[in-house]
Structure 1
Amino acid sequence: MITIAMAEDHQMLIDGVKSFFEYDDEIQIIGTVNNGEDLVKLVSLKQPKLVITDIRMPRMDGINATKHIKKQFPHIRVLALTMFDQPDAIKQMLDAGASGYLLKNSGIKMLSKAIVTVANGETFFDPNVAFNFMNSYIDENVTIGKSEKVILSNREKEILQLIAEGKTSKEISEALFIAKTTVDTHRKNMIRKLKLTNGNELVKYAIDKKYSF
């Protein structure tokens, strides 16, 4: 089990991440806070396997919080989750002791991959920052996330949004004034396009897109 403490000053993002991993058998969020000072206290109290932290936060930023955490608990892994893609920010976070760097617009599926990679003692980089930074700082022993674009129709996107809101096929059909069988067909097509295996995975994907960073 990968236990996680998370620091993020936007509660909506925290709620989205917690919702996605609520029933995950491998990943467990054991505590969340909204600033760096409280993160250091939380880590000291619960000693999770992994810390997810933003960089810019009130009272103490993620860079200084990471320095404190790594000094006290060098075995605890740190993953940065931020909007900053500047090389200076990345370097400061890595120098502080982080083992992963992910942008908030990457989506929860890539976050899940980053969590497992970093928890296993490896380094993970968002593909949108890795190649700009590769030559100067990142060595070859890292995992770089892969961006995969899937083209959904406008109707499929509408249905996906309603699935994320917890609506059934019948409720979706009524909301969009289409037959329930049409909704079911769209569901099957999306499962095929997205290379998923069943409806439950489609629901997870829908939630992922609803809470995209």
Structure 2
Amino acid sequence: MITIIMAEDHQMLIDGVKSFFEYDDEINIIGAVNNGDELVKLVTLKQPKLVITDIRMPIMDGIQATRIIKKNMPHINVLAMTMFDQPDAIKQMLDAGATGYILKNSGIKMLSKAIVTVASGETFFDPNVAFNFMNNYIDDNVTIGKSNKVILSNREKEILSLIANGNTSREISEKLFIAKTTVDTHRKNMIRKLDLASGNELVKYAIDKKYQF
């Protein structure tokens, strides 16, 4: 049995996850809290096998809470469940001791896979997080979730729209006030996410889909 304590400041999400796993024979959510301070206290008391935590929460965020939990109770595995796909957020959670990272909009089936993987001591990553960062961490023990649904970040959608309008990377960088190398990185990530073969295919995809944001 995988016992879980969940930390999330949106009670509706907690209720939804608890409802889904209510009759699951393998996964049991034994507690849920709304901030990092309460998370540390409840984890210390109940000693679950796994912690699922958001990053941004009141009183104490998920990064600090994870750091405390892993320092005092290193046997407890931590899975981050958040909307943040930025490399900096991923790095901070990994440095704090999390061994799983999943986006909230990835679906309950992927969450189930992430729970089982991380609880077993392995590492799990949502397929739609920033792979340009993850490539520095991937090894033989890392599981990458698979999803038919392509999730582009707001910035990627913005860049894709500009690509569809015929803008070069240099022009996009000037319009968005970001470095050209950052634009190029976003292009590479979108090519990977969309399973395309080249930058030319990305341009064709952008035009065909007629992204308007």
The higher-RCO structure (CA 8 Å, 6+ apart) is 1
Q: How does 1:44-193 map to 2 (within 5 A)?
A: 44-129=44-129, 131-149=131-149
Separation in structure 2 between the aligned mates of residue 75 and residue 32 of structure 1, nearest angstrom:
19
Q: What are the ranges of 5 or more consecutive residues in structure 2 without an aligned counterpart?
A: 150-213
Separation in structure 1 between the aligned mates of residue 82 and residue 63 of structure 2, nearest angstrom:
11
Compute the TM-score of the two structures, normalised by the length of structure 1.
Answer: 0.68
User: 1:74: Cα distance to partner?
Assistant: 0.3
Separation in structure 1 between the aligned mates of residue 67 and residue 132 of structure 2, nearest angstrom:
25
Task: State the identity as a percent.
Answer: 87
The total of aligned residue pairs comes to 149
Separation in structure 1 between the aligned mates of residue 56 and residue 77 of structure 2, nearest angstrom:
19
Separation in structure 2 between the aligned mates of residue 85 and residue 108 of structure 1, nearest angstrom:
18
What's the CA shift string for 1:14-41, capped at 9, x where partnerless? 0000000000000000000000000000
User: 1:133: Cα distance to partner?
Assistant: 2.2
Contact 1:130 1:144 in 2 (8 A): no
Contact 1:55 1:63 in 2 (8 A): yes
Kindly indicate whether residue 37 of structure 2 is the aligned counterpart of residue 37 of structure 1. yes
User: 1:130: Cα distance to partner?
Assistant: 5.4
Match of 2:9 in 1: 9
Q: Which amino acid aligns with 2:144?
A: I
Contact 2:87 2:130 in 1 (8 A): no
Compute the TM-score of the two structures, normalised by the length of structure 2.
Answer: 0.68
User: 1:134: Cα distance to partner?
Assistant: 2.8
Separation in structure 1 between the aligned mates of residue 112 and residue 76 of structure 2, nearest angstrom:
17
Regions of 4+ moved over 2 Å: 130-141
Separation in structure 1 between the aligned mates of residue 33 and residue 141 of structure 2, nearest angstrom:
31
Q: Which amino acid aligns with 1:61?
A: D
RMSD, matched Cα:
1.0
Separation in structure 2 between the aligned mates of residue 58 and residue 76 of structure 1, nearest angstrom:
22
Give the secondary-structure state (helix, strand or coil) at the position aligned to 1:112.
helix
Contact 2:86 2:130 in 1 (8 A): no
Separation in structure 2 between the aligned mates of residue 67 and residue 131 of structure 1, nearest angstrom:
23
Q: Which amino acid aligns with 1:58?
A: P
Q: What are the ranges of 5 or more consecutive residues in structure 1 without an aligned counterpart?
A: 150-213
Match of 1:24 in 2: 24
User: 1:148: Cα distance to partner?
Assistant: 2.5
What's the CA shift string for 1:72-110, capped at 9, x where partnerless? 100000000000000010000000000100000001110
User: 1:129: Cα distance to partner?
Assistant: 1.2
Q: Which amino acid aligns with 1:51?
A: V
Separation in structure 2 between the aligned mates of residue 135 and residue 71 of structure 1, nearest angstrom:
26
What's the CA shift string for 1:102-123, capped at 9, x where partnerless? 0000011100000000001100
Contact 1:3 1:30 in 2 (8 A): yes
Contact 1:91 1:137 in 2 (8 A): no
Match of 1:203 in 2: none
